[in-house]
Amino acid sequence: MENFRVLSSSSLKMIAVITMFIDHLGFALVYHLPSVNQHYQICRDIGRIAFPIFCFLLVEGFLHTSSRKKYAMNLFVFSLLSELPYDLVFNANRSAWHSQNVFFTLFLGLMVLWGIEYFYGKIVFQGMVLSCGMLISYFIHCDYDWKGILLIALLYLCRHDALTMTAAGFACLYWEWKAIFAFLPINLYNGQRGWMKGKITKYFFYVFYPLHLLLLVWLRHQLVGPSMPIF
């Protein structure tokens, strides 16, 4: 199996970003264009693999970052910066409080991992931390709500065994079975950072999220005019 571990974290990030973009392109634009809207579901299906990869990379970041406080602050700041672009794409509304972008989910997930580690060996307290994170995510309507927090926690707790982690991921993703294909690239991860190094590439992935959403809003406005979300 070791011979097949050929993907670095840089490669996983690119796979996640590209598939996320395809997903959002399908939602924001393809659905509204009669000439190509038959491909809408294909775009959404491809995009399902992005979130599990981001969750896996969050766990890796939590374990290897030089500053967890800075990591958490970056996630929180960009969750705020991304909310307006997110609402414009998915809610056609500038202040849709019933739905929060994925950065909030990742930020809460990081906080849960921090709590689980802090209470190492104390299962009751770890369970309380996880439950609190899931409840907060549910009540503030984070993207992927409580299921996203549970997935992050399971990837962390099962990280020492690839088979167990994959099985836990499969079980957790019962609600979106197409997302299980994310574990194909995840299980090819070689533990290396890869070719993306330095602050520019680091912050590119933070900035890309709100910027690509704004780009899709602009394209939708140019091609089809203002439109309401699908659901």
Domain that holds residue 41: 2-223
Structural domain includes residue 230: no
Percent of the chain with pLDDT over 90: 74
Residue 226 reports pLDDT greater than 70? no
Structural domain includes residue 87: yes
Report DSSP state, residue 48: T
* Residues 52, 181 contacting (CB under 8 angstroms): no
Strand (E) or helix (H) holding 58: helix 50-64
- Which residues face 7 on adjacent strands? 189
Closest to 58 in 3D by CA, of 18, 132, 113: 113
**Is residue 193 packed enough to be buried (19+ CB in 10 Å), middle (13-18) or exposed (0-12)?**
exposed
Alpha carbons 57 and 67: distance in angstroms, whole number: 16
Structural domain includes residue 231: no
Model confidence band, residue 180 (pLDDT cutoffs 50, 70, 90): very high
Structural domain includes residue 153: yes
Residue 150 reports pLDDT greater than 90? yes
Domain count of the chain? 1
Structural domain includes residue 126: yes
Alpha carbons 79 and 69: distance in angstroms, whole number: 15
- Which residues face 142 on adjacent strands? 100
Model confidence band, residue 122 (pLDDT cutoffs 50, 70, 90): very high
Structural domain includes residue 6: yes
Backbone angles phi, psi at 90, to 5 degrees: -95, -15
DSSP, collapsed to helix, strand or coil, labels residue 72 as: helix
Residue 230: what pLDDT?
45
Tokens 């996630």, residue located: 75
Residue 175: what pLDDT?
84
- Over range 210-217, report the average pLDDT: 95
Structural domain includes residue 154: yes
> Angle CA(224)–CA(213)–CA(219) in degrees, nearest 5?
25
Q: Which one has a higher pLDDT value, 28 or 35?
A: 28
Neighbouring residues of 106: CB distance < 8 A, sequence distance ≥ 6: 54, 55, 58, 75, 79, 152
Residue 96: what pLDDT?
58
pLDDT digits (tens, 9 = 90+) for 12-27: 999 999 999 999 999 9
pTM, 2 dp: 0.92
Structural domain includes residue 229: no
Alpha carbons 33 and 40: distance in angstroms, whole number: 9
Q: Please report which residue ranges of 140-198 form alpha helices under DSSP H.
A: 145-157, 162-172, 183-186
pLDDT digits (tens, 9 = 90+) for 48-105: 999 999 999 999 999 999 899 999 999 999 999 999 999 988 876 555 567 899 999 9
